[in-house]
Amino acid sequence: MSTTTKNPDDNLDNVSQTSKPPIIEKRYWFSFVLVASLFPLWGFANDITNPLVKAFKDIFLISNAQSSMVQFAFYLGYGIMAIPAAIFIRKYSYKSGILLGLALYAIGATLFIPASVYMEFYFFLAALWILTCGLALLETTANPYVLSMGHPDTSTQRLNLAQAFNPIGSLTGMFIASTFILNKLQVEEFRQAEKAAHPEYANMLPSDVDAQLVQALNDFSVNEPVAHKAMQAADLATVKGPYVAIAVVVAIVFLGFLFSKLPSTISHKNDFTVDEFKATFKRLLSNGRYIEGVIAQAFYVGAQIMCWTFIIHYGMTSVGLSAGEAQSYNMIAMGIFLASRFICTFLLGFIRPGQLLMVLAAGGIALTSGVIFLGGMPGLYCLIGVSACMSLMFPTIYGIALKGLGDDASLGSAGLVMAIVGGALMPPMQGALIDGSSIIGDIPSVQTSFFLPMICFVMIALYGFRAHVKYKA
């Protein structure tokens, strides 16, 4: 009878094959929590800024397309800063990238002070652009850093977990925008006074009432320019307050990171030459899963920003809500988004990321169809429901696209952060559709404009399908 010698290492191999690696290794817990604290900061900035599109439209008496330049300026920073941020991080360190990002964030928020003093719309756009350059650095740093904190097989779950803290900042930003900005604006008080003075508005379509109120504001600016200027000054001071407060918070976080030690998970080379950059760039361009992920991410961010920005316009013009009431529904949408993020993170333990992404994108297509064709409160409920489908998309696309890139992930992350520029390009397009005539019969243009987000969800569903079938992700 023959015997065989059993290698003790075989037991280890069997364990490694059968046991699931932890989402976060013990040695990374402190670093993970510290870096995860950054995620609410850009969530706050995103969602306190979204309502400014409608607020600046009324304060400065500009069109929807012009006011959408708020989103253009905000997300343009991602497109411009992403690759320089990646090079900076690769040359120095993740910690250096975080510190520079926090500094630019605080500076941009502080610039709201002179912008409100000079009462210039484009000064606010410049401040938002500088702030967003800081956010681009933070996102280019934090996302790949979280992905690298453990086993590659749990990287997407890990990023979804970190991203789950993002809606906490978003909800805070929405609450402050509703409570301390939209409900405190004198221009909103003017609109409500006009409604009270014209009881016949109760029998008119919400979109027609909104047009009458806009005309009343224009007449007020012409007939009483001094009073209108004073109202503008008061409202811009109201807008300024929360940005000054967040600048102080970000400065405190800056000090926290300055005196903390972050472990290195990916090598950072001081000799990151032009040739090395070109070689990395070439490898990324030849990676189909990555390139398709960048494209899908641009469509996702565009869809997200359109759905969350124009929910206020939808509520006011298709339902007849006030700005504050419409923003409260935005907060409900964000609460659903937050709950869905944790649920989807759990589901990723049983369902492959590409498959779940495809299913939820299909849900987004169905719900935006309801926004377009149902209208009124049913359409608003559909618009709120879209947030449940969107919760998974950003970190999952990110994780699928960057999986297995190793040191190339720092530059690869920049491409995915640059894709956030989709949030700069698409909202002005939707704003122009809202300003124009309806593209479907008598359906209000604010409803038909949601064909743009629907197209975005189609593209995301296609990437989810390809990730699941072709890339086995």
Q: What band does 267 get if pLDDT is binned at 50, 70 and 90?
A: low
Say what the pLDDT of residue 12 is.
40
- For 151-196, what is each residue's pLDDT tens digit? 777 877 888 788 778 878 988 998 899 889 988 999 999 999 999 9
What gap in Å lies between CA 423 and CA 407, rounded to an integer?
27
Average pLDDT over residues 372-387: 94
Say what the pLDDT of residue 24 is.
81
- Specify the amino acid at residue 207: S
What gap in Å lies between CA 296 and CA 312, rounded to an integer?
26
Q: What band does 265 get if pLDDT is binned at 50, 70 and 90?
A: low
Say if CB 417 and CB 88 are below 8 A apart: no
Asked whether residue 3 carries a pLDDT value surpassing 50, the answer given is no
Q: What band does 86 get if pLDDT is binned at 50, 70 and 90?
A: confident
Q: What band does 2 get if pLDDT is binned at 50, 70 and 90?
A: very low
Say what the pLDDT of residue 59 is.
95
The torsion defined by the Cα of 231, 108, 336 and 430, in degrees rounded to 10, comes to: 70
- For 401-453, what is each residue's pLDDT tens digit? 988 787 777 788 788 888 888 888 899 999 999 988 777 878 888 999 999 99
Average pLDDT over residues 81-106: 88
SS3 assignment, position 33: helix
Q: What band does 228 get if pLDDT is binned at 50, 70 and 90?
A: very high
Q: What percent of the chain has pLDDT over 90?
A: 45
What gap in Å lies between CA 300 and CA 302, rounded to an integer?
5
Long-range contacts made by residues 114-117, C-beta under 8 angstroms, separation at least 24? 115/236, 115/240, 116/233, 116/236, 116/237, 116/239, 116/240
**247 to each of 78, 81, 109, 244, 406, how far by Cα in Å?**
19, 20, 5, 5, 34
- For 105-160, what is each residue's pLDDT tens digit? 999 999 999 999 999 999 999 999 999 999 989 988 888 788 778 777 787 788 87
- Tell which residue, 69, 67, 70, 135, has the closest CA to residue 101: 135
The token pair at 251 is 């400065």
Helix axes 155-163 and 121-147, enclosed angle (nearest 10): 140
Instruction: For the chain, state the CA radius of gyration.
Output: 24
Asked whether residue 242 carries a pLDDT value surpassing 60, the answer given is yes
What gap in Å lies between CA 362 and CA 25, rounded to an integer?
34
Say what the pLDDT of residue 413 is.
79
Q: What angle do CA 348, 352, 356 make, to 5 degrees?
A: 75
Say if CB 55 and CB 400 are below 8 A apart: no
- Specify the amino acid at residue 42: W
Say what the pLDDT of residue 471 is.
81
Say if CB 313 and CB 64 are below 8 A apart: yes
What sign does the dihedral 75-76-77-79 (CA atoms) show? positive
The token pair at 68 is 């959408």
Average pLDDT over residues 211-238: 94
- What secondary structure does DSSP assign to 343-365, as a single string? HHHHHTTTS-HHHHHHHHHHHHH
**pLDDT greater at residue 315 or residue 268:** 315
Asked whether residue 16 carries a pLDDT value surpassing 50, the answer given is no
Average pLDDT over residues 2-30: 59
- For 21-73, what is each residue's pLDDT tens digit? 887 888 888 888 899 999 999 889 988 998 898 899 999 999 988 999 999 99
Q: How far is CA 162 from the centre of its chain?
A: 14
pTM of structure: 0.79
**144 to each of 89, 121, 229, 400, 414, how far by Cα in Å?**
11, 35, 47, 12, 10
Say what the pLDDT of residue 272 is.
60
The token pair at 229 is 């200027």
- For 285-325, what is each residue's pLDDT tens digit? 899 999 999 999 999 999 999 999 899 989 988 888 888 88
CB atoms closer than 10 angstroms to residue 29: 11
**114 to each of 29, 53, 108, 169, 314, how far by Cα in Å?**
41, 19, 11, 25, 32
Task: Tell me what the pLDDT averaged over the chain comes to.
Answer: 87
Say what the pLDDT of residue 387 is.
95
Say what the pLDDT of residue 222 is.
95
Q: What band does 77 get if pLDDT is binned at 50, 70 and 90?
A: confident
CB atoms closer than 10 angstroms to residue 389: 27
**56 to each of 63, 71, 144, 327, 454, how far by Cα in Å?**
10, 12, 35, 15, 26
What gap in Å lies between CA 437 and CA 455, rounded to an integer?
19
What gap in Å lies between CA 25 and CA 33, rounded to an integer?
12
What gap in Å lies between CA 74 and CA 444, rounded to an integer?
28
Say if CB 324 and CB 183 are below 8 A apart: yes
CB atoms closer than 10 angstroms to residue 226: 7
Say what the pLDDT of residue 329 is.
92
CB atoms closer than 10 angstroms to residue 307: 29
Asked whether residue 8 carries a pLDDT value surpassing 90, the answer given is no
What gap in Å lies between CA 118 and CA 120, rounded to an integer?
6
Asked whether residue 7 carries a pLDDT value surpassing 50, the answer given is no
Say what the pLDDT of residue 271 is.
53
What gap in Å lies between CA 141 and CA 144, rounded to an integer?
6
